Amino acid sequence: MPGELKTPVVVTPDWLRANLGGVVAADARWYSDGRSGLSAYGARHIEGAIFVDLDGCLSGVPSVEAGRHPLPDAARFAEEMSRLGVADDDIVVAYDDAGGIYEARLVWMLRATGHGAAILDGGLAGWTGPMDSVTPQRSRASFTPVPWPCELLASIEEVASGSRMLVDARNGERYRGDGEDPLDPRAGHIPGAVSIPCRENLQPSGEFLPVDLLRQRFADAGVSDAGELIAYCGSGVTACHDLLAFEWAGLGRGRLFVGSWSQWSNDRRRPIATGADPG
């Protein structure tokens, strides 16, 4: 497993303002309702920030077998980072306007491959520094492809084996299977998974809960060592927020089931559970 990184998981707006010239700010806004993150970026973004597209840069080709947001090939991810002007030794501070639940995918991918990356606490809502509408002209950089570490990933077969604790990062109504799932063919959750909605890692302001409250929240759900668990969500995006929150709370680094519910629910051989209990 990659070693501990010196870059913290979360940085404050004050930290980013003080270091804006020496790090890469990355706008990772994305909307499940079809709105354009790129258009939102073009209207107004943190000064000097690049735009990193979830579908174009952070995901491979979607399929029934692999899910809606599979990881891209390592070489393709490296090419996208190089094209955007992100170098091997750059520190990337990512933000969105949803408390970090989408930017977390970029931060997790970078940290998983040994690169410095952090979430901007509070996201765009907490930023009071300079803003711009101009896309920065960054020179192409050298970003070396690094294989996705198997120690931080879980296959659908490992999930099915029940060998590790499962954490579901989706909202409670999707976990419970209230009505039809708006995005996937079946509603409910993977049997045995506990519900830790990623959005509940946040205060109303969009900032993370204090670390002691995060730790208590996770302890109440039975999580004391993230190294023993697998996290999933709808398509392997917002689960990254739970994984980074575990790391931020000092509980270690868990595994990501990238295919998540979009892969599991499309396989009719896989059982599902509904209701508030793990099942």
**All structural domains of the chain with their residue ranges:** 10-147, 153-264
211-242 pLDDT, tens digit each: 999 999 999 999 999 999 999 999 999 999 99
Blockwise average pLDDT, block size 10, the chain, 279 residues: 67 96 97 96 98 98 97 98 98 97 98 97 96 96 98 98 97 97 96 98 97 98 97 98 98 98 97 97
Instruction: Specify the pTM.
Output: 0.96
Give the model's pLDDT for residue 2: 37
AA identity, residue 74: A
Give the model's pLDDT for residue 5: 59
Burial 232-242 (b: 16+ CB within 10 A, else e): bbbbbbbbbbb
Q: What are the CA-CA distances from residue 78 to residues 181, 260, 273 (Å)?
A: 34, 24, 38
CA angle 26, 11, 31 (to 5 degrees): 40
**Candidates 1.20.59.10, 3.40.250.10, 3.40.190.10, 3.90.1170.50; CATH matching 153-264:** 3.40.250.10
179-215 pLDDT, tens digit each: 999 999 999 999 999 999 999 999 999 999 999 999 9
Give the model's pLDDT for residue 6: 79
- Same CATH topology for 10-147 and 153-264: the answer is yes
Strands (E), 32-153: 45-46, 50-51, 91-95, 116-120, 131-132
Q: What residues act catalytically?
A: 233
Give the model's pLDDT for residue 97: 97
**Three-state DSSP state, 119:** strand
CB contact at 8 A, 259 and 70: yes
Fold of the 10-147 domain: Oxidized Rhodanese; domain 1 (3.40.250)
Give the model's pLDDT for residue 262: 98
> What is the pairing mode between strands 194-195 and 229-232?
unpaired
